[in-house]
Chains A and B, each alone.
Chain A
Amino acid sequence: MSIKQTFSLAFKSLLASKTRSILTMLGIIIGIAAVIILVGVMGGVSNEMTSQFSSFGANQITLTLFSGVTSKKVGEADIQEFVSENLNCFAAYSPTVSINGQLKNGTENTYSSVSGVNEYYDKVGEFSVSEGRFLQYIDCEYRKKVCVIGTYQVDELFEGVSPLGESLKINGTPYTIVGIVEETADRESGSSDDAVYIPYTTAMRASGNTTLSSYTFNCSDSEIVYEAKALLEDFLLDKLKDADAYYIFSFSEILDSLNVMMGILTGVLVGIASISLVVSGVGVMNIMVVTVTERTREIGIRKALGAKKRHILSQFVVEAAVTSAIGGVIGIIFGILLASPVGSILGVTSAVSLQWILIAFTVSAAIGIIFGYFPARRAANMNPIDALRYD
C-alpha cells in the first residue's frame, strides 16, 4: 500500500466524521495559535528593546580607572597607542570628563551634566551635528571655551531659536556655542538631545582634575564588542597588574543578558502554551481510541483480506497525524492573523518568525504521531477473528 493511498484513506475517514475531526483539531488549533501569538509578541518586545538599547550605544565600551588602587598609571597616550594598534576592533575613542554645570543664558538657567570629550566623540556616540561643527583638535589642544549643545538646551535656554555663535555660561564661565547636535529624541530631558559637550582639556581645568579617569570607546561592529572588551582588559591588566584598578562596561552585555531573560520568559510562556498542546494530544488519543473501538469490525475485515500489522498501524497513525497537522496549519494561520492585533493591544509590533512556524507545524504533526501511535498499535495487534466478531 503506497503512502499516497494511506493518506487518501486518512482524508476519507476524516471527512466521514467532520464534526469529530474539527473538534479534535480545535485543541491543536488553539494551542498552536497561542504559541505563534506569544512568540510573535515576545519577538516584537525583544526587537523593540534591542533597537532602544542600540540607540544608547550597543557598540560602546566605557572604561573607568580608579586612582589609588595601584601606583601604576595608564595615561591618554597609552590609550591612544592601544587604540591605534587595534583599529580592527575600535573605530574611535574619547576621554570623558563629566562635570555638573549650571547653564545660564541671561536670566534663563538650567542644570545639566556637561561632558568633556575630544574631537572624535561624535563618532564614539554615533551622532552628527545639524548646525555648525563638532569640537576640533585645536579646541582640545588650546583648551578653548567652546561648546556643542543639544536641542533640549536650545529649547530651555534660547526658546528654540538657533543660538549658533552665541555665548552660554557654564558655572559662570562663558562658552561660545559652535554646534548643535542633530535631534533624535524629541528634545526630551535626559535623552540624547539633552547634552553639552566641551573640550575635555577645558573640562579638566574647570573641574580641577589633573588625570583622566574615564574613556568611551566605539567598536566598529556590535559583533566584536566582546573581542574588543577582552583586548582592552588584557591591555589594562598588563599595564596596571591589578584587576581592581579599572572597570569596563558595555551596553551590549546588558542587551545580551536582557535577551537571555527575554528568551527565558518566552520559554516559560511557550511552555505554558505547550500544556494546551499536550492536552490536545490527549484529545487526539482519546478520539483515536474511540475510532479504533468503533472500527474494530473494519480492522477485522481488513485483516481477513490480508492487511498486515504495519498496514493497520500506518492507517491509524497517518489518520491521527493528518488530523493534528491540519489543526496545526489552521492554528498557524490564526496565529499569524492574530499576532498583530494582539501585539498592538500591548503596544508592540509582533514579529512572527518562519522558524517558529516550522517548529509549530512539526510539533503538531508529532503530537498526532505520538498520541496516535498507542491506539493504532492496539488496532494493529487485534486478533482478526475477535475483531471480525466485534459488534
Chain B
Amino acid sequence: MDSLSGAAEDISAPGIRKVSHVLRRGDRSLFIVNGAMHFGLHAAEGALLFVLRKTRTALLIDGIEKMTSMTRLQALPLSFCHEERRWYRGLTALDQTVVPVVHPDGFLSPEELALLDAALLEADHSAAEALEGTNPAQ
C-alpha cells in the first residue's frame, strides 16, 4: 500500500470490512479488496495490488508465487455449495497440486458495489461541503 498511499483514499462501507481504500483512476473508482479478509484468512497487510481486468476490484495480495498457464479447468465440485461458488471459476491441477481459480467478479457482489458506491458518494459530498465551509468567499 505504501506506493499507493498518495493515490488511495480511505473508504468505509457498513459490513464491508475487506474494503478500506479506493483508488481513483479518471472517472473510474477501483475498490481495493483485502484478499486475506475476503477469504477469511489470517489478515495480512498485503504487499501487492492486482487490478482485475473488466472489474472494479483491485486485489491486495501478499505476493506472487509464480505465473503459469493452465490447460484444464475443472468445475468446482457441487459439494462446495456456499459463497465459494461465487469466488471460484473452478479448480485446476498444476504440478500435482490443486489450485482454485478465482472469479474476478467474485470479490465484490453487486450489493457490495452498491454500498461502496453509496459510501463513496457520501464521502465526496462531505468533502465538497467541507471545502465550501473553508471557502473564504463565503
A, B bound: no
Residues of B whose CB lies within 8 Å of any CB of A are none
